[in-house]
Structures are given as C-alpha cells and as structure tokens.
Amino acid sequence: MKCLILGGAGFIGSHLAEGLLAEGHQVRVFDRPNLVLPAELLADPRIEWHEGDFLNTDDLARVVPGSDVVFHLVSATLPKSSNDNPAYDVETNVLGTLRLLDIARTSGVQRIVFASSGGTVYGLPNTLPISESHSTEPLVSYGVTKLAIEKFLHLYHVLHGLDYCILRLANPFGERQRVGAAQGAVAVFLHRAWHGETIQIWGDGSVVRDYIYIKDAIRAFVKTLSYRGEPRIFNIGSGQGLSLNQLIAAIEALLGRPVAVNFEHGRKFDVPVNVLDITRARELLDWQPSVKFSDGLAYTLAALQGAESR
C-alpha cells in the first residue's frame, strides 16, 4: 500500500517507516524542515521525503493525495506543558487534524491511523488494567485534544465514509528516542545514568506506567493495515506496570552500579498508575508484545552507546 507518515522523521515515525518497508509497502514521510533525520533511513532510496508545516493546508495538499493510508503521528505539544496553553494545543493539533481530514476525504485516502495517548486520555483509573471502555477524564489538555481528534475521526467516518483506526499508545521506548526531550522516561533516565548524571523524579518514585518497546508498538501499527471492522480503538501497551523506582532499579541492574536520583514534589496531573488492558488488540489485531522490558532496555542502551561512539 502507499503509506504516508505524518511525523515520520521522529522516534515512532522512523521505526514505522522501517516496519512498513519490511512488509513491502511504499513509504512517504512528511515532517518539519531542518530536522536531523535518521541516517539509516535517509540513505534508503525507497523512502520519499517531504518537508513542510502540518498547519499549512498547501503543504498537506501536496503530500496527502496518492496515499492509501495516512499514519497521523503529529503532535505539537507535550503532556507536561499542554495545560500551560490549551488554546495553542487545540489550534495546532485539533484544527490541523481537521484540515487533514478534509483533504484526505477528497483525495481517495482509504484510512487514517491515529496515534492517540493511552497514558493521558483515561485520567484517574477506576479499574486496572484500563480497557478501551473505561471512562475518559484526562487531567492534561494533551489528552483532551487526543480525544477530540478521536471523535472527529468517528464523525468523518459517519458523514463521509473515511475509515480510521486509533491506537492508544502506552509509553513507547527504544532506539532513537530523543534523550533531550521532555518526555520518554526510559531513554532520558538511561542516558543520564550512563553518563553519571542525576536523574530527576517528580514525586516519590511510586508512579506506575506501562512501557512498550518500540518495535512491538510498530507491529501494532502495521497490523492495522489488514484490520477491517469494529471496534476501531485499541490500547497498545505491555499490559504490565512498572514504577519509576522499579525503572531505576532496572537501569542499575543493567549498568551494574547505583545511579543518583533527586526526588522533587509531585505534579497534580500525574495519575498514580496507568496500565493498559491489551486484550482487544490481542484478540482482534492478532497482536501482542514479545520483547521483555529488560531486553528492550538493553537494546536502548546499546543504541545510545553506538550513536555516541560514531
């Protein structure tokens, strides 16, 4: 199939490009100008690269037509900062997506696959693990806009027949994750620990999250290409929780030495636990994670070391 990845030069997008190519699909990548592109992908002649602004209708109209499937990975905000300016969150993410959907429905696009946020859309859990039918009461604007986009995808399907699939991702980690970013605890913590730097943790380290190795997550994205039917929303995670303290312990075990940690006051928007129920994806997408957290952590460290040795 002819696949367009919006945000394809980033952490998830670059791995998705590799996953789609491995299955024989054609890949077109669209992302912001002046990004440092993954060298291993930049040299691949099978990838069609395009630069532009997600909020520019002309740029979208240039890359969307001719695509069978559009993978929408773009987000202009982060969970921790989205509450600072909710209006900007809506203007960049929701309005930008609406322009995309208008172009897609008139350009012959068969399906939109959207990367939503399993870590923020549910809010405080009533039950664990959290299934797709759980109530959605996000504590951050980031989660609210993700939900709004999910609702507009459904609306455009009802009104215009534009098919879609939504993956509510847990916390992906792995090779090429940005260590200087404001999210991505695994890569950030691992990089700081490896360099002997102090790790900052908000709260007492008891916050539990669901971490999914990137290549496992990508297999779920690829699975959506052959899936047809209801439902269209899937949790994609490991199905297991890991506290920040347990994450630190795993890093110490991998490095073979203790690491320095500084505990700060907790943040109001950090829910105490988030673990996703992946039963639906296992039964309907024929997908489940296969990489143990400890193995994924080792792969991530090897990639960090390799990148800095070049």
Residues 151-210 have pLDDT tens digits of 999 999 999 999 999 999 999 999 999 887 667 899 999 999 999 999 999 999 999 999
Q: What are the residue ranges of helices labelled H in 106-163?
A: 141-160
Whether the pLDDT of residue 49 is over 90: the answer is yes
Check residue 36 and give its pLDDT. Answer: 80
Check residue 77 and give its pLDDT. Answer: 87
Which residue from 148, 127, 285, 123 is spatially nearest to 217, judged by alpha carbons? 285
Task: State pLDDT tens for residues 260-294.
Answer: 999 999 888 899 999 999 999 999 999 999 999 99
Check residue 307 and give its pLDDT. Answer: 80
Whether the pLDDT of residue 90 is over 80: the answer is yes
Q: Compute the distance between CA of residue 213 and CA of residue 178 in angstroms, rounded to an integer.
A: 14
Domains of the chain and any CATH numbers: 2-173+213-237 (3.40.50.720)
Query: Reduced to 3 DSSP states, what percent helix, strand and coil does the chain have, rounded to the nearest 5?
Result: 40, 20, 40
CB 113 within 8 A of CB 157: no
Work out the mean pLDDT of the chain and round it to a whole number: 95
Our answer to whether residue 142 is catalytic in this structure is yes
| SS3 assignment, position 10 | coil
Check residue 145 and give its pLDDT. Answer: 97
Catalytic pick among 88, 122, 142, 164: 142
Residue keyed to tokens 């347990």: 246
Strand partners, 242: 209
Average pLDDT (78-92) is: 91
Average pLDDT (134-148) is: 97
**What are the backbone angles phi and psi of residue 299, rounded to the nearest 5°?**
-65, -40
Check residue 35 and give its pLDDT. Answer: 83
Q: Which two tokens stand for residue 262?
A: 């500084």
Whether the pLDDT of residue 1 is over 90: the answer is yes
Least confident piece of the model among 17-31, 34-48, 220-234: 34-48
Whether the pLDDT of residue 138 is over 70: the answer is yes
Q: Compute the distance between CA of residue 169 and CA of residue 305 in angstroms, rounded to an integer.
A: 27
**Predicted TM-score (pTM) above 0.75:** yes
